[in-house]
Amino acid sequence: MPLEITELNHVQTTVPSSVEHAAKHFYGTILGLQEIPKPANPRSPRSRRGAWYRCGSVELHLSVEDLPADNGASRRHVCLMVANLAEAEAAMREAAIEIIPDNQPIEGWRRFYVRDPGGNRIEIAERGGEIK
C-alpha cells in the first residue's frame, strides 16, 4: 500500500558559502520569493546561514554547504510556475541571468531554465502554448 502523502511542504537547495549573498538576492529579489523566519537553533551556527522562502503553501529552504560538487552539470531542478513566461524571461535577461532553452519541449508546457548562483537548475514554466 502506498503512503498517503498529504502535502509537499518544502524543497531544500544548497549553495556554497562563496555565493550565499548572491543566492539570497536571486531567490528574494530576482524571483521575488517571500523570505520567512527560520527556526532558531542556538546549538547550530549553521542555523544563521541561508534563508527560507515561501511560495504559496510550499517553502524553499536555501542552505549553505561547501561540498566538492558541480551543480552546473546536474539536470535535477525545481520548477517554478509563472503567469507569463515572456515576462519572466525578460526579467531574467534584465537581471543578466543566462536563459537555458528547453531542448526537450512537451505539449501544453512552455519553459526555460536558469541556474542560481550556486549552479542549481531552475525550470521556469507556463502551462499552455504550442511547441515551437
What's the CATH code of the domain at 108? 3.10.180.10
The answer to whether position 4 is within a domain reads: no
Residue 106 DSSP label? B
Q: 69 falls in which pLDDT band (50, 70, 90)?
A: low
How high is the pLDDT of residue 105? 87
pLDDT score for 20: 96
Residue 3: inside a domain, yes or no? no
Q: Which grid cell sits at 125? A: 514554466
Q: Is residue 53 part of a domain?
A: yes
- pLDDT of 49 higher than 70: yes
Parent domain of 82? 10-127
pLDDT at 1: 72
Whole-model pTM: value is: 0.81
Closest CA to 39 of 27, 50, 28, 29: 50
Q: Which of 128, 119, 26 has its CA nearest to residue 77? A: 119
- Asked if the structure places residue 1 within a domain, the reply is no
